[in-house]
Amino acid sequence: MGTKEKSEKWLNNGGKREKLLVEKKKKSAGKMIVIVILAAVVPVSWLIYRTVLQDGPQAVPGSQVMENVSYEKQSVTMTEVEAISGKGLVGVPVDLVKKNKLIYFEYQRKDGRIPLLAYITPAGKLVTAVSMCEPCNSTRFHIEGDQMVCNACSTRWDLETLKGISGGCLGYPPDVLRHTVNGDKITIQEMDLQNWKPRVLRG
């Protein structure tokens, strides 16, 4: 083989080597980009996942009035009580809710009655709500284990979150109302009850 041919062969081999080096550099750069992205994404994803696991569905608003309550293997029926109205407020005694765990009372509007309830969550929070399962028009519920159950359609909701568990009216648990604990009484603003309307009628 002549000198010229050897030179050409050497140059060709050198060119191939350069191409291989360039390709290796590109692959290395690509791998580095993937590693950097994973390094950024994985911790964030895990943090979000862990937060969801820890926090779970959001608890309904309420007032802490007791220590934890166990409803395991229990069925609690509604206890009906009389509400006291006056000075723009509707109230019931806190002790009645703490004692019975689930009470039923009513507010009379010009266009009819508004059924109401108050109950104690397993975490010891007192929650007030309109006592109505709107699709089936039932106003009566009971507690079974850690679940609120409609007496008519048997739809079940988690007591802490009122998130639907099973049944046909999952999206319509008792509609939570704001309240205030004043001494030994729970009070609800009459204005809130005057303005309340079923969710199926809201725009």
Residue extents of the structural domains in the chain = 1-56, 63-201
- pTM over 0.95? The answer is no
For residue range 76-119, what is the model confidence (pLDDT) as tens digits?
999 999 999 999 999 999 999 999 999 999 999 999 999 999 99
For residues 147 and 34, give the distance between their C-alpha atoms in angstroms, rounded to a whole number: 46
Q: Does residue 54 have a pLDDT over 60?
A: no
**Closest by Cα among 86, 82, 107 to 96:** 82
Contact between 167 and 156 under an 8 Å Cβ cutoff? The reply is yes
> Given this model, what pLDDT does residue 131 score?
98
- The class (CATH top level) of 63-201 is mainly beta
Q: Does residue 183 have a pLDDT over 70?
A: yes
pLDDT band at 23 (very low <50, low <70, confident <90, very high): low
